[in-house]
Amino acid sequence: MTQEPGLRERKKKQTADRIETAAMDLFEKDGFDATTIDDIATAADISSRTFFHYFPTKEDVVLGDYAARLSRVTESLKEQPVDSPAWTALGVAFAEVANDYEVQHQQLRRRFQIMMTTGSVFARNLQLQAGWEDAVAEALEERMKLGSGDILPRLMAASALGAMRSSVRHWLPTTNQSLPDLVQDCFTQLEAGFKPAL
Amino acid sequence: MTQEPGLRERKKKQTADRIETAAMDLFEKDGFDATTIDDIATAADISSRTFFHYFPTKEDVVLGDYAARLSRVTESLKEQPVDSPAWTALGVAFAEVANDYEVQHQQLRRRFQIMMTTGSVFARNLQLQAGWEDAVAEALEERMKLGSGDILPRLMAASALGAMRSSVRHWLPTTNQSLPDLVQDCFTQLEAGFKPAL
DNA sequence: ATAAAAGATTGCAGAGACTGCAAACATCTG
DNA sequence: CAGATGTTTGCAGTCTCTGCAATCTTTTAT
């Protein structure tokens, strides 16, 4: 099943990494907007055309992997016992993600720093999160066996993502509390609002 | 105080309107992405350079006025009696906006239609909403007399905006329920989660 | 009424992100 | 080793958006 990746795969990953590190270094050195695709391509030793075979936009270099990470929420959600309340299950799923964030906080802080100070990157991030909201809302709808006419799944998904975003924002500058704790606090705060919902 | 606007002001407003209607017509006819600034400029009888004196980006033509509308939330929030709970006050403020939306739903539907089907416009919208979230969170913080170390104002702001967004999404395709009702439902749903907070 | 100030419009040149295409190149498969 | 398949590259081109300087319009002060 899991074949050892061939030369082609290895090279590809290697190039992707080279682009990413080169780009991040330049972003931090010169700023996101002042760094051009050409700059990145030169630093990563590829042609500028090739850049777009690896990343759809410049913004995605900053968000790339951390975007994929949140998509785990839906998987985790499906693994939760069906008899636990939806909001609780959501809380567990997000706690896992928060843990990932906490573990890799060194790399994430660099990315967040750029994201929070660059409008286009921030916007792209929100756009990706909106996609996750859709996915989470859909998963919740299925889980709660509700028709698509009910607003509750979407509201829950939006609240959960909002809790996550709020937590990250407070987590970033301070480091007083751990991210999982913050997320947990937000979820328990909102819990009463979703009490009656299975 | 309120001087009758001079010729200059009148012309400016007139040009802005011309750009907006021309652009919206083209967006609906050919699609947002397929419409170029040049197309809009030609249709509105201006030079393409002038377009950017009126709108910072193509996306803002779709979002323009309705963006400003939500900024009313903070004002409305300040007018609420200080002894009413924060979440209740927020609910009233958003209800006013929802009413505006409902009244002008014909124009808004056109804009939402384009927004929901065009990634860049949707992203821009989320970016603007993030700005409102900041403003609302700040206003709440002041109202609740909390230090800036507390996460609650931000969580409330995020939840409120989330409720608004969720409501709009359900309101758009159906028309079964009025937007203010939907918003009200979401706010009462979440109310229990913010009960203990003044 | 007229001249000066202030503001708006325009064209031009240019940077920069991103796309499609076709040729060259590398890797994999049999 | 040859053919299939995937990757890189250069090139030409489109489009958004910016700065600048010239021109034209409206306002204001004389």
pLDDT band per the 50, 70, 90 thresholds, residue A1: very low
Question: Which among B31, B102, B58, A197 has a CA at the least distance from the CA of B44?
Answer: B58
Is B3's Cβ below 8 Å from some Cβ in A? no
pLDDT band per the 50, 70, 90 thresholds, residue A172: confident
Positions on chain D within 7 A of a protein C-beta? 6-11, 14-20, 26-28
Distance B11 CA to D25 C1' (A): 11
Asked if residue B148 has pLDDT above 80, the reply is no
Q: Please name the residue of chain A whose CA is at the shortest distance from the CA of residue B176.
A: A149
CB contact under 8 A, B130 and A130: no
Separation between Cα atoms, residue B33 and residue A29, nearest integer Å: 34
* Angstrom distances, CA of residue B104 to CA of A135, A187, A192, B96, B98: 30, 36, 35, 13, 10
Residue-wise pLDDT for A47-86, tens only, equals 999 999 999 999 999 998 777 787 789 999 999 998 889 9
Please give the DSSP secondary-structure letter assigned to residue A189: H
Amino acid at A195: K
Question: Which among A24, A102, A117, A109 has a CA at the least distance from the CA of A62?
Answer: A24
* Token pair belonging to A33: 């907007």
Asked if residue A38 has pLDDT above 60, the reply is yes
Identify the burial level of B88 via C-beta atoms within 10 angstroms of its C-beta, where 0-12 means exposed, 13-18 middle and 19 or more buried: middle
Helix, strand, coil fractions of chain A, as percent rounded to 5: 80, 0, 20
- Residue positions counted in chain A: 198
CB contact under 8 A, B162 and A167: no
Q: How many CB atoms lie within 10 A of CB B106?
A: 7
Give the one of B130, B186, B195 whose C-beta lies nearest to A126's C-beta. B130
Separation between Cα atoms, residue A165 and residue A173, nearest integer Å: 14
B-proximal residues of A, 72-131, CB under 8 Å: 119, 122-124, 126-127, 130
Higher per-residue confidence, B49 vs B2: B49
Claim: this prediction has a pTM higher than 0.85: yes
Rg, chain B, Cα only: 19
Q: What torsion do the CA atoms of A84, B164, A57, A11 make, to the nearest 10 degrees?
A: 0
User: Cα A100 vs. chain centroid, distance in angstroms?
Assistant: 10
Positions on chain C within 7 A of a protein C-beta? 7-13, 15-21, 27-29
Domains, chain B, with CATH or none: 7-55 (1.10.10.60), 62-192 (1.10.357.10)
- Across the A:B interface, residue pairs with CB atoms under 8 Å apart total 87
Question: Which among A155, A125, A10, A18 has a CA at the least distance from the CA of B127?
Answer: A125
Which nucleotide has its C1' atom closest to residue B52's CA?
A: D17
Residue B14 beta carbon within 7 A of nucleic strand C: no
Distance B41 CA to C1 C1' (A): 37
Residue A53 beta carbon within 7 A of nucleic strand D: yes
Are the beta carbons of B160 and B90 closer than 8 angstroms?
yes
Question: Which residues contact residue A6 at a Cβ distance below 8 angstroms, ignoring those fewer than 6 apart?
Answer: none
* Angstrom distances, CA of residue B111 to CA of A44, A71, A181, B92, B147: 41, 29, 40, 25, 38
Confidence at residue B198, expressed as pLDDT on a 0 to 100 scale:
46
CB contact under 8 A, A158 and B165: yes
Asked if residue A195 has pLDDT above 80, the reply is no
Are the beta carbons of B38 and B48 closer than 8 angstroms?
yes
Distance A20 CA to D7 C1' (A): 18
Separation between Cα atoms, residue B4 and residue A192, nearest integer Å: 53
